[in-house]
Structure 1
Amino acid sequence: MLWETLILGSILLYLFYRWATQNFDFFEKRGIPYDKPVPVFGSLIDITLRRGSIFYTIKDLYNKNKESIYGIFFQTTPVYLIRDPELLRKITVKEFDHFMNHRDFFGDSPHDLFTNSLIQLKDEKWKDMRSTLSPAFTGSRLRQMFELINQVAEQSAKYLQQLQTAGNGEGVELELKDYATRFATDVIASTAFGLQVNSFENKDNQFFMSGKKATTFNWKLNLRFTLFIHFKSLMKFLKMELFDPSITNYFRRLVLDALKYRKEQNIRRADMINLLMEARGLFPTESTKSHTRNWTDTEMVAQCFIFFFAGFETVSTLICFAAHELMENPEVQEKVYQEIEEVNERLDGKQVTYEALQSMKYLDMVISETLRKWPGAVNLDRMCTKDIVLEVDGKRIEIKKGETIMIPVVGLQHDPQYFPNPEKFDPERFSSENKDNIKPFTYMPFGEGPRICIGSRFALLEAKAILYYLVRDFRIAPAKKSTIPMKLGNTGFQVAPKNGYWLKLISRSKQ
């Protein structure tokens, strides 16, 4: 019996090894240099085991080889890492019809919110949803939504002022991520769902806590992501969901109840719920009469969910890194403050406006440089939708339907060939005199081509609004727990500092 067990175990172990290494000769057959993979983990062992950060892993893979194409492995899946900007132009723009979709990470369940969101939708479904949602992010819509964003920004500024008043008058030390996340949460609640939650006063409100639970990449969520990537069919058979059902059910009720209530009460508001009602024909407009697709409840809810999921983490992280860089670079912070003072002088005591905020070009430069040094998406992907032959360094490389390419955003944006002294925080790279010197397709924090992030302008507007109030009211200084220079922690698929975003806020009115 013992021998039978050992033999059976050996056979199963061998079969597992064969499965885990079946594609490891993929690039060797094609004559493409590649990173030697680790069985099961591929090129991502440090990320999967949370021994490192995806930020540093992608940078290291980018720097391992200078060829235009380098082979890496996402666990057992071979992936073409593209280093050449001209090749990236071809993939994301010129030959977009061959690389229209993102990689299918989590299957195609008709009930799953993530797989039905704009990020994961494919082909014609993606095109239809993109055109449906695009009106939400036009200049006129953003101008309308700015009033909602500004209300939340003012609330957040008052919260910090209250902390100052309650303190000893020497400034307040705080870990900024919680503050920035509450701001981002309240903005999304207002602009997407029409809710006023005020997470600064109602700290444990369900909207905020649901978002925190959905975006905290602890070992459980890391494991779920890994299992869904490798065993989609098994997860579907077991009826497992990527996110905790309590979270997804909460968002379903939130969106569907809002749709029903607004229809009954004929309530119209400049937010995403209103846009989805127009798309469904509940509030017909000229722009929606041409839309013929009938969107399901899940597809409707999914767009609000991904807007929330992306905004909750991405925007708050951008705010935190920008504030940290202003703390590390006081001369940059002073320039931002002087620009704010000039804007306020023109406003003559009036509330900041959309136009006034958009006129702040140096603040734009600061945010652009923050996104270069600390991109929210350190890598992007595209999946080949039909076979294509690419000319690369004098060689013909055939990429087949279903194969994946990776855009190493953080590698390109930290390449001294394109951004000299890349570890230096230098907003002047994005001045009107210098920004045209940036080589196209080396700076793409929001992607490029038709699949560029639809909400990028909204995210930038959010970040500018909160930074306006933060620098207007406070001088950002190092706290006792501040880490200078910034060091990232071993946070796996998330980009987060080792010791948090600690800083000290000193009221300008007391200086």
Structure 2
Amino acid sequence: MFIEFIILLGLAAFIFYKWSTAGFDLFEKIGLPYDKPYPLIGNQKDIVFKKCSMFDNIIKFYKQFNTSLSGIFDQRTPIFIVRDPALCKQITIKDFDHFVNHRTVFTDKDDGLFGNALVNMHNEKWKSMRSTLSPVFTGSKMRQMFVLINEVADESMKFLKKDGKTEIDFNIKDYFTRFANDVIASAVFGLKINSFVNEDNEFYAMGKKITQFSFWQNLKFMLFTNFKYIMRALKMTLFDAKDTNYFKSLVLDAMKYRQEHNIMRPDMINMMMEAKGMFIDKNDEKPIAKEWSDDEIVAQFFIFFFAGFETTSLLMAFASHELMVNPDVQEKLRQEIQEVKENLDGKPLTYEILQGMKYMDMVISETLRRWPPAVATDRECTKDFHYKDDEIDVTIKAGQHLWIPIVGYHLDEKYFPDPLKFDPERFSDENKANIEPFTYLPFGVGPRICIANRFALMEAKAMMFYLVGEFKIKPSSKSTIPMVLKKGGFQIAPENGFWSKLVPLKS
């Protein structure tokens, strides 16, 4: 009996090994250089065992070979790494019809919130939802929502000044996260929340819960990647039903109430109601019907919340860190802010004036180059794509995947000399024209570029305007200088948090 058990165990181990390494010879067969994978985890060993950050892992893949294309394995999935800007342009613009979709881990059958989100939609459904959402992010809509952002910024400044302290030593990322939370609550969901006063409010608690994946959620994500049909059969979802129902009721109840009482507000719920035809067009007096289900509508709000809560606060945190360690840049930005304030003469900041602040734009642009929140973007091949250059002759098959290593381009000295230096002058009017196209991709590129990028930029610039205009950002005894990123996981963060010291400017 024991011998039979050992034989069965050995057979099971052999079958598992063969399954976990199936397809690992793909790149060798087509003559493409690739990083040797490990069973099941592929080339994510350093992430799994917390030896480096995802940020540094992508840079390693980018630098590993000098060819325009190379290969890695994300667990068991082969991934083509696009290292050449010209090829990046071809894939994302010229031959976009071959690469319309992102790689799909979740569909609407797997998770109602993630699966129905714009980023996971495919083909015509994606195009239709993109056209539905695009009017939400026009200049006129940004102008309306900026009023709401200004209100939140005012509340955040009152919080910093409330005790009249001569200096504030704290983890500034928490402050930015609360600001981002309240902006999303107001400009997206139409809620009035002050997370600086009510620190443990339900909306903020939910944001922290869904963006800071637990061990169980990370495990479920891995299981969905490798055993999608089993997870689907077991009716497993990435998020708990309680969390899903919270967002559904938040959005659908608000939409219903506003329609019944004809309430208009310059936020995303109102704009989505217009797009869905729930409000009558004054010129036409006929509803513009959009056949979107409740789940599809709620999913868009969820993904804006998911991305905005963490990604935008990270942008602000890295911007403040760079201003902290580059006081000359901070002072130059402060001078621009003071000039704007003098010209405003007590009037509130407007969207147009913020957009016209050139050095502010340079600082935020350089922050996004040095610390892009999305270290890579992906595409799924929808129909066979043949590529040939002096070294490579390959066909990417339909259903195969590729990564565009954003952080690799951003930190390549060939495109950005002295890439580790924080230098906003790269984006001055004189210099930004010299940046090679398709090497600066903080929000992705092509028709699949992040639809909310203008909103994120507006939010980050507004926060920096008020913060740098009222305080000096100085190093704390706990500050991470030089920056050392936390190892393991997919989120970018310093090893010990974004600690800073805020010192009020003298009157």
TM over 0.5, shorter chain: yes
Q: Tell me the alpha carbon deviations over residues 169-199 of structure 1, each in whole angstroms, 9 at most, x when there is no partner.
A: 2x11010111100000000001111000111
Corresponding residue to 2:393 among 390, 396, 404: 396
1:365 aligned residue: 362
- Check whether the contact 1:110–1:116 (CA below 8 A) recurs between aligned residues: no
Q: Distance in 2 between matches of 1:150 and 1:288?
A: 33
Partner of 1:452: 449
Partner of 2:53: 53
Q: 2:89 maps to what in 1?
A: 89
Q: Which runs of 5+ in 2 are unaligned?
A: none
Contact 1:278 1:288 in 2 (8 A): no
Q: Secondary structure at the match of 1:73?
A: strand
After superposition, the C-alpha distances for 1:55-87 in whole angstroms (9 at most, x for unaligned) are 000001111111100100000000000000000
Structure 1 partner of 2:233: 237
Structure 1 residue identity aligned to 2:134: S
Distance 1:218 1:54 in 2: 17
Report what 1:473 is aligned to.
Answer: 470
Q: Is the 8 A contact 1:474 1:508 kept in 2?
A: yes
Asked if structure 2 preserves the Cα contact closer than 8 Å seen for 1:37 and 1:43, the reply is yes
> In structure 2, what residue type is equivalent to 1:68?
S
Moved more, 27-36 or 274-283: 274-283
**Map of 1:378-393 to 2, 5 A cutoff?**
378-393=375-390
* Residues 1:250 and 2:246 aligned together: yes
User: One-letter code of the match for 1:354?
Assistant: Y
2:173 aligned with 1:189: no
Tell whether the 8 Å contact from 1:49 to 1:492 is kept in structure 2 after alignment.
no
Residue identity matched to 2:13: L
Instruction: Count residues with an aligned counterpart.
Output: 506
Residue 178 of structure 1 pairs with residue 184 of structure 2: no
Aligned residue for 1:509, secondary structure, equals: coil
Q: Percent identity?
A: 56
Report the CA distance between 1:422 and its aligned residue: 0.6
SS at match of 2:112: coil
**Cα separation, 2, equivalents of 1:222 and 1:417:** 36
Structure 1 residues 317 and 88: alpha-carbon distance in aligned structure 2, compared to 1, 3 A threshold: same
Q: Which deviates the most, 241-250 or 473-482?
A: 241-250
Q: Distance in 2 between matches of 1:179 and 1:110?
A: 34
Alpha carbon RMSD of aligned pairs, Å? 1.5
Q: Which amino acid in 1 is paired with 2:350?
A: T
Which residue does the alignment assign to 2:316?
A: 319
The residue that corresponds to 2:15 in the other structure is: 15
Cα drift, residue 7 of structure 1: 1.2
CA contact 2:386–2:395 (8 Å) conserved in 1:
yes
User: How many angstroms apart in 1 are the aligned matches of 2:148 and 2:133?
Assistant: 19
> Is 2:458 aligned against 1:439?
no
1:44-193 counterparts in 2 under 5 A? 44-109=44-109, 112-163=112-163, 165=164, 167=165, 169=166, 171-193=167-189
User: Aligned partners of 2:391 and 2:325: how far apart in 1?
Assistant: 45
Equivalent-residue separation in structure 2 for 1:184 and 1:124 (angstroms): 32
Classify the secondary structure of the residue corresponding to 1:505. strand
| Equivalent position SS for 2:223 | helix
**Secondary structure of the residue that 1:397 maps to in structure 2?**
strand
What residue identity is the alignment partner of 2:442? Answer: P
Is 2:111–2:237's contact at 8 Å kept on the other side of the alignment? no
User: Normalising by the residue count of structure 2, what TM-score does the alignment of the two structures yield?
Assistant: 0.97
User: 3-state SS of the aligned residue for 2:162?
Assistant: helix
2:506 aligns to what SS in structure 1?
Answer: helix
Q: Is the 8 A contact 1:51 1:492 kept in 2?
A: no
Of 325, 328, 339, which residue of structure 1 is paired with 2:336? 339
Partner of 2:188, secondary structure, is helix
**Is the alpha carbon distance of 1:5 and 1:214 closer, same or farther for their aligned partners in structure 2, counting shifts above 3 Å?**
same
Q: Secondary structure at the match of 1:174?
A: strand
8 Å contact kept, 1:490–1:498: yes
**TM-score normalised by the chain length of structure 1:** 0.97
How far did 1:394 drift?
A: 5.3
Equivalent residues of 1:107, 1:232 under 8 A apart: no
Aligned partners of 2:306, 2:408: CA distance in 1, in Å? 25
User: What is the aligned partner in structure 1 of residue 200 from structure 2?
Assistant: 204
Q: How big is the shift at 1:311? A: 0.1
Cα separation, partners in 2 of 1:399 and 1:426, compared to 1, 3 Å: same
Q: Is the 8 A contact 2:112 2:295 kept in 1?
A: yes
Q: Residue deviations 1:398-456, cap 9 Å, x none?
A: 11111101000001100000011111000000000000100001110101110111000
CA distance in 1, matches of 2:477, 2:225: 41
> Aligned partners of 2:303 and 2:233: how far apart in 1?
24
What are the ranges of 5 or more consecutive residues in structure 1 without an aligned counterpart? none
Separation in structure 2 between the aligned mates of residue 352 and residue 110 of structure 1, nearest angstrom: 44
